[in-house]
Structure 1
Amino acid sequence: MTDKMDDSSKSTDELKAQRHKARQQKVKAAVDAKIAKAQIEKGVLLVLTGNGKGKSTGGFGSITRAVGHGKKAAVVQFIKGNWPCGERNVLEKVGVEFHVMGTGFTWETQDREKDTLAAMGAWEAAEALLKDDTIDIILLDELTYMVSYHYIELDRVLEALKNRPPMQHVIITGRACHRAILELADTVSEVQPIKHAFEAGVKAQIGFDY
């Protein structure tokens, strides 16, 4: 009796294993087909948008990966103030070029003219990078706000992105990305919040939030 139960259990396990293998073979075939089809090499425009936390962090992760592969990278930070930036502390030491708008959040400055001038200064640095074919990848951190607030003309941004070197990758981060930029992008990821410690009264902390 026991032998029959063992045989039955073994047969059930074997059947499950066979079914699992068959499913995974189908998955592999589908993935292999997509890999075989994706043979284009080009500079990719990636947009990380949405109201959730982690957009800039994701952008900096891609910059770090590129540098790890010996690529030349640059970062333009819009909105950010003069407080410490852990990513900048590391990446500048390995040759990543940084341009920081430096005025902080618009609700702190409350000075549209000052913010516009600062935004244009940072954008002019970005335009120069977007013409430089020695730069493999650029992070335009929080650029979306500059377009939303009309500090930088949308058409000027689109023109620079369209005319950049063909193999240059660009990452744009920030909430409420303009539809025209989303349409131009090759890849768009939207980060949505489920919970955020700040809403529960937890302050932004160095080494974790910035």
Structure 2
Amino acid sequence: MTETDATPKDAELARHATKMAKKKAARDKIMAGKAGEKGLIIVHTGAGKGKSSSGFGMILRSVAHGMPCAVVQFIKGAWDTGERRLLTTHFADLCQFHAMGEGFTWETQDKARDIAAAQAGWEKAKELIRDP
């Protein structure tokens, strides 16, 4: 096919290919400058639904890729959740699971105990963060 035989669609595809090649070259240059791997800390907060779903989705992706990870829950305590059961039964070698709370504060009605449980959870989280 000669240049005169090219259709507008062919020209658009060629422009796109050139643009993507430039993007790839720029991205490859950025990635070449990266050294070592770093851990990632993600905190989910806020009212409403979605925090656990989002967090466990990330945990499952990490486990699926063979990456070590940990869960520190500050509220749920001894609840026997499906997520906890799955991770501790099938993926304990990759994912540490720590349910540190004693329930919702409006259920426990004991501020001092709630604060102590939160502090214990935070200490566990710091320990995990420091562990390479």
2: distance between equivalents of 1:72 and 1:15?
Answer: 47
CA RMSD of aligned residues (A): 3.0
Which letter maps to 2:27? V
Q: Provide TM-score, normalisation by structure 2.
A: 0.70
Give 5+ residue unaligned stretches, structure 1: 1-6, 131-160, 169-210
Q: Percent identity over the alignment? A: 48
The answer to which structure, 1 or 2, has the higher relative contact order (CA under 8 A, 6+ apart) is 1
Asked if the contact 2:72/2:97 (under 8 Å) is kept, the reply is: yes
Question: 2:76 matched to 1:80?
Answer: yes
Q: Provide TM-score, normalisation by structure 1.
A: 0.48
Say which structure is richer in strand.
Answer: 1
2: distance between equivalents of 1:19 and 1:71?
Answer: 39
Q: Please report how far the alpha carbon of residue 108 of structure 1 lies from its aligned counterpart in structure 2 after TM superposition.
A: 3.0
Aligned length: 126
Q: Please report how far the alpha carbon of residue 19 of structure 1 lies from its aligned counterpart in structure 2 after TM superposition.
A: 1.4
Q: 1:91 aligns with which of 80, 87, 94?
A: 87
Say which structure is richer in helix.
Answer: 2
Aligned equivalent of 1:191 = none
Residues 1:11 and 1:74: Cα distance change in structure 2 (over 3 Å): closer
2: distance between equivalents of 1:49 and 1:20?
Answer: 40
Q: Please report how far the alpha carbon of residue 88 of structure 1 lies from its aligned counterpart in structure 2 after TM superposition.
A: 0.7
Name the SS for the 2:30 alignment partner: helix
* 1:128-161 C-alpha deviation (Å, 9 max, x unpaired): x43xxxxxxxxxxxxxxxxxxxxxxxxxxxxxx5
Residues 1:29 and 1:51: Cα distance change in structure 2 (over 3 Å): farther
Asked if the contact 1:101/1:118 (under 8 Å) is kept, the reply is: yes
